[in-house]
Amino acid sequence: MRCSVARSAVKIRVMNSDFDSYRLSDEHQALRAAVRDLAEKEIAPHAADVDEQGRFPVEARDALVKAGFQAVIIPEEYGGEGADELAGCIVIEEVARVCGSSSLIPGVNGLGLTPILLSASDELKQQVLPSVAAGEAMVSYALSEREAGSDAASMKTRARREGDEWVLNGTKCWITNAGESTWYTVMAVTDPEKKANGISAFVVHKDDPGFVVGTKERKLGIHGSPTREIHFEDARIPADRIIGAEGTGFKTALRTLDHTRPTIGAQAVGIAQGALDVATQYMKERKQFGKTLAEFQGLQFMLAEMAMKVEAARQLCYVAASRAERNEPDLGFISSAAKCFASDTAMQVTTDAVQLLGGAGYTRDFPVERMMRDAKITQIYEGTNQIQRMVMARNLLK
């Protein structure tokens, strides 16, 4: 049974003014406290083992599902909590603070669900969303291919209509939580002549005939979150599992990223905050030359710089999530800025945390080396930070 604090904490909406701002409500603050308590008690104790063994964090999944935190943005009419996008960021941030791999459970559910929430028919939403809201299923997002990463519009996966079915052929790569998820939102070409306007979006179930999950990638970080290719070998799905109208899939994919890039920023903020917390405590306890590290001004300045950037990244992500919740036009700049700045911050802060801990930081006795490895991916997925800078520049110059 889900705890009453968690249930009430997610029934929230963003408070905003004419000045494009936001305010964390009492419910947002209660949500943060509830997720932090859960993360510290039920996720953090397993984080090192999850990383060491490269295993899926089942303890985190079970704890998040029990509390109702696995996909808080699902509307109430589909069995969800009905939380806003800022609440979704807070959940991801607080889980990432103790375990980057585990934060990809709510993070990737949100990514996979967003195309459905934005563009799917009510009938398709009814097919998919209740199972995720109940914690019976997870959902992954399948856009990238080996030769269509940053240039996603050049994808080769095809879908053709045959009677009451769509038949898919091709391969998607870098699919987070593939093999663990039940549902997959998939982009495929339905009309090659129309290029980006010939791409459509579909929902695939793991038991659909012709759907095959590939081997797990060997990665630098986020070892507990499996990343695999998925293959479509004359995979057949019912015709009603198309998301929106034929040819609108790429537009849906781009709109999705406007909503979900702040969640990658939130993951990065959480990882950075976790490293900052460890470094701060270590500086208070570790002694050199008869003083604690906290008494050396040079190290104080490092710590202050880290904390300043983490807080700036947090505020940027929250503003972006609040604007996305309101479906404001021209979200591209703020969403890319949030993801880019927060992930660059996470990489710098986790690297500095390792430096502050010295030799101890380079060992697995402390979590900062894991956090540094986990932080790197936030600069790459959902669009590399070079792509984010291109998006921002185009928005400025158009």
- Are residues 243 and 293 located together in one domain of the fold? no
146, 173 Cβ separation under 8 angstroms:
yes
Which residue, 219, 247, 275, sits at the end of a domain? 247
Is the sign of the CA dihedral 5, 92, 248, 338 positive or negative?
positive
At residue 120, the 3 state secondary structure works out as coil
Question: Within 10 A of 363 (CB to CB), how many other CB atoms are there?
Answer: 12
Domain membership of residue 95 as a residue range: 4-137
pLDDT band at 55 (very low <50, low <70, confident <90, very high): very high
Element (H, E) at 287: strand 287-288
- Are residues 125 and 148 located together in one domain of the fold? no
- Read off the CATH number of the domain in which 228 is found: 2.40.110.10
- Are residues 243 and 324 located together in one domain of the fold? no
> Is residue 111 pLDDT above 80, yes or no?
yes
Say whether 382 is catalytic.
yes
- Are residues 175 and 267 located together in one domain of the fold? no
- Read off the CATH number of the domain in which 314 is found: 1.20.140.10
pLDDT in tens, 60-110: 999 999 999 999 999 999 999 999 999 999 999 999 999 999 999 999 999
For the CA atoms of the chain, what is the radius of gyration? Answer: 21
- Read off the CATH number of the domain in which 100 is found: 1.10.540.10
Confidence (pTM):
0.94
Cβ neighbors of 245 (< 8 A, separation 6 or more) are none
Q: How many percent of the chain have pLDDT more than 70? A: 94
348, 279 Cβ separation under 8 angstroms:
no
- Are residues 291 and 367 located together in one domain of the fold? yes
- Are residues 173 and 242 located together in one domain of the fold? yes
Nearest to 395 by CA among 345, 335, 344: 335
Which residue, 231, 247, 263, sits at the end of a domain? 247
pLDDT of the residue at 149: 87
The two tokens of residue 71 are 């996909």
- Are residues 257 and 340 located together in one domain of the fold? yes
pLDDT in tens, 159-193: 999 999 999 999 999 999 999 999 999 999 999 99
- Are residues 292 and 338 located together in one domain of the fold? yes
> Is residue 242 pLDDT above 90, yes or no?
yes
pLDDT of the residue at 7: 53
Q: Distance between alpha carbon 353 and the CA centroid of its chain, in Å?
A: 23
Element (H, E) at 161: strand 158-162
- Are residues 156 and 261 located together in one domain of the fold? no
Which residue, 247, 271, 295, sits at the end of a domain? 247
**Per mean pLDDT, which range of 21-25, 141-145, 221-225, 354-358 is the poorest?**
21-25
- Are residues 194 and 330 located together in one domain of the fold? no
The two tokens of residue 25 are 């409500």
> Is residue 59 pLDDT above 50, yes or no?
yes
The two tokens of residue 295 are 């008494």
pLDDT of the residue at 13: 45
- Are residues 257 and 377 located together in one domain of the fold? yes
Number of domains in the chain: 3
- Are residues 132 and 158 located together in one domain of the fold? no
